[in-house]
Amino acid sequence: MPRPPDQPDVVAVTGASGRIGREIVRLLDRPGRTLRLIDTDLPASTADGPWGDLSDRVELHRASIEDAPAIRAALAGASGVVHLAALSSERPWADILRVNIDGTQKVLEAARLGGARNVLLASSIHAVGFVDAASAATTEVLVARPDTYYGVSKAALEALGSVYADRYGLGVVSARICQFGAEPATGRALARWLSPGDLARLIEATLRLDDGAHHIVWGVSANAPDAFDLSAGRAIGYEPQDDAFAVAFARDGAASPLAPTSAPLDDPIGGEFTDDEHPLGSTF
């Protein structure tokens, strides 16, 4: 359902001070929009924060996604929500359950009660870590095959997004983020890069949705050699513009490690997280 014409453009970002939030918040700042930045660790003012120059259309809310009343207050009146807050790597099950799964449910419930129309959920490649590389390149939406408890939490996040879309008409995008960074790494990581600019484009595509449905898409830039099927993202208006190979070549020239760029086709895309060296629940 489209946002009513009289509803203010208020975009709330959970985990705004985190590794991803500090890169993309400034890219979401625009005239006519209020950014509501939510985290447990926030500066006294935006001038002291990690986001660079921001307009005065910014609100800071110190709140934990584990605290239902606090997160409901923080999301009240938000038209769109970008949910980044989470434990970002493998942890013992009790921690994953408390923060990543229960916390996501609290965010979606608060978004619904607060009147949000659209939500982007930060999922992960680890929700499908046991899928082979060939399937990732040729399948529009992969069935969940998580490689860790962390991956299970992202599969659960996607399931929660689905039920809130179907029950309440929220427009939800679960973005399976692969390797986010200001610049691409090297070797196989090139094919998995998601640039800040492209994540911002994916968020804007989410905020424009008017179908009240759930979509699972790859959080990946337009990297050669097409290691991921990006058709689901393009179907909702996400058109990535950055290419890790072009960036790496401009940065490193002839020294740029353009190959190998992806795992062998029969290898799981979760890589080392699928092997015995990374047991479930270990913080590695």
Convert the pLDDT of each residue in 263-280 to its tens digit: 567 799 999 999 988 899
pLDDT at res. 261: 47
Vertex 125 angle, CA 80 and 21, to 5°: 40
Instruction: Judge whether 168 counts as a catalytic residue.
Output: no
Within a domain: residue 234? Answer: yes
Residue 273 near residue 126, CB atoms below 8 Å: yes
- Domains in the chain: how many in total? 1
Proportion of the chain above pLDDT 90, given as a percent: 78
Within a domain: residue 282? Answer: no
Within a domain: residue 283? Answer: no
Q: Which residue has the higher pLDDT, 20 or 43?
A: 20
Residue 164 near residue 108, CB atoms below 8 Å: yes
What does the CA dihedral 242, 12, 234, 213 come to, rounded to 10 degrees?
Answer: 160
Q: How far apart are CA 196 and CA 177, in angstroms?
A: 11
pLDDT band, very low/low/confident/very high, at 226 (cuts 50, 70, 90): confident
Within a domain: residue 56? Answer: yes
Within a domain: residue 86? Answer: yes
Tell which phi-psi region holds residue 194, choosing left (phi > 0), alpha (psi between -120 and 50) or beta.
Answer: beta
The pLDDT of residue 43 is above 90: no
The CATH number linked to 94 is 3.40.50.720
Proportion of the chain above pLDDT 70, given as a percent: 94
Residue 154: is it exposed, middle or buried by C-beta count within 10 angstroms (0-12/13-18/19+)?
buried
Within a domain: residue 1? Answer: no
pLDDT at res. 1: 46
pLDDT at res. 174: 98
The pLDDT of residue 4 is above 80: no
Which residue blocks in 57-173 are alpha helix, DSSP H? 68-75, 93-96, 102-114, 133-138, 149-168
Q: Which residues pair with 214 in a beta bridge?
A: 172
